[in-house]
Amino acid sequence: MKDFIVKLQNHFELNSYSKKNHLAVDINKTPQYEVIIAVLLPFFNAGQFLGRAIESVLRQDFEGFELLLLNDGSTDNSLRIAAQYSDNRIRLIDLPHKGLVSTLNTGLKMARGMWIARMDADDEMWPNRLSRQLAFAKQNPNCSVVGCKVEYEGAEAGKGYDLHVQWQNELLTHQEVCNNRFIDAPLAHPSVMFKKELVHTYGPYLDFDGPEDYELWLRWMDRGVCFGKVPETLLTWYDRPDRLSRRHDKYSAEAFFRLKARYFEKWAAKNLPEDRPILIWGNGKTVRKKSRPLWRYDLPITGYIDVRPQVVQMKKKPYVYHFEDIPEGAFILSYVGDRNGKQQIEEFFRRTGRLAGTDYFFMC
């Protein structure tokens, strides 16, 4: 840790902006209060909206937090904006540009307090976010990850990310989060607060060819960590066209399906008998492409499910079953993505007494 801090201090000394403007960055500053929550706010070229995000954190009705402003080598005026705030709860950390995962993991190493709260540079905390999440954690002591509902603000009202946010907001309990984990990330990253001890026990964010937040949630669920959400809206989530998750390959649909397959295999190894057959609901080219990563694992996949009787194929594996003739005891993975199709499949599961997480998962 000492070597790590020395490297940071050397970087501060070499930073031209710091030299010119006498920017004082005291990474070892001792707080004058008990730090319970460390808010991690990484930023890169976020000058257009960084001030709004910082001020929303400083307006919290809870005082026992520190705000780590983590500059990921910005080349715009972001560092100058961050340096204007003299609040003693702020620790400004200037880093070379290495990307979001490296920046977040640096923040985790430096954070004080037992809770970590995430925040993005283009979003806005509501004034009672930290206090409500901490109160929820105290009321639910087994819960180590606490999210909240979020308000969508963007150009896709009624579609796209807005529908995604509406879906996330419906998942409040640990069971709801876990049963829907393979559809998509069940929590908005900047809405989450989690115990710092999880990082010490299970490791920090993983830098790989996939979404770092979703991987973290799946890893923690795989280890039995309890999740929950405050059933209140406590964050405004701004959806910008140039957001990293819209333009980087690590957040592509293919990367998500690879990750889902990896963690479903881990789940199946713990929860399914080796001889329990697995069927994939859907039989078109799109479904076969989405489910292709599953075939990399030694899973007992025996075939696909189709609603069209004329395409049933039972002569060779993988078989194609009509949905009314699914073998007894089969575990089903639905890769049907359209809303009407999913609703019809959900109704079929209800009608036949099948349970999420016991008899099936939706995978998209």
What single string gives the DSSP state of each residue in 69-89?
A: EEEE---SSHHHHHHT---TT
Question: pTM for this structure?
Answer: 0.89
- Max CA pair span of the chain: 76
Task: Sketch the domain layout of the chain as residue ranges.
Answer: 2-251, 272-362
Angle at alpha carbon of residue 80, lines to 77 and 81, rounded to 5°: 85
Q: CA-CA distance, 282 to 337, in Å (whole number)?
A: 9
2-251: CATH number = 3.90.550.10
Q: CA-CA distance, 216 to 224, in Å (whole number)?
A: 12
Please name which of 126, 119, 159, 118 lies closest in space to residue 236, comparing C-alpha atoms: 126
Alpha helices in the chain (DSSP H): 2-14, 16-21, 50-58, 78-83, 100-110, 129-139, 160-170, 174-179, 197-202, 212-222, 244-247, 253-271, 285-291, 339-351
pLDDT of residue 19: 35
pLDDT of residue 239: 86
Amino acid at 128: N
Peptide bond into 318 cis (omega under 30): yes
Residue with tokens 């963007």: 154
Q: CA-CA distance, 239 to 152, in Å (whole number)?
A: 7
Long-range pairs for 201-206: beta carbons < 8 A, 24 or more residues apart: 204/104, 204/105, 204/108, 205/101, 205/104, 205/105, 205/108, 206/101
For residue 30, give the DSSP letter.
Answer: P
pLDDT of residue 318: 84
Q: Please, are residues 45 and 78 in contact by the beta-carbon 8 Å criterion?
A: yes
Please name which of 259, 258, 150 lies closest in space to residue 214, comparing C-alpha atoms: 259
pLDDT of residue 247: 59
Amino acid at 181: R
Q: CA-CA distance, 70 to 55, in Å (whole number)?
A: 15
Q: CA-CA distance, 283 to 135, in Å (whole number)?
A: 47
pLDDT of residue 229: 98
Domain 272-362 has CATH 3.40.50.2300: no
From first to last of its 364 residues, the chain has per-residue pLDDT tens of 333 333 334 333 333 333 333 343 445 566 667 999 999 999 999 999 999 999 999 999 999 999 999 999 999 999 999 999 999 999 999 999 999 999 999 999 999 989 999 999 999 999 999 999 999 999 999 999 999 999 999 877 777 789 999 999 999 999 999 999 999 999 999 999 999 999 999 999 999 999 999 999 999 999 999 999 999 999 999 987 666 665 578 989 999 999 999 999 999 999 999 999 999 999 999 999 999 999 999 999 999 999 988 888 776 778 999 999 999 999 999 999 999 999 999 999 999 999 999 999 999 9
Q: CA-CA distance, 204 to 216, in Å (whole number)?
A: 8
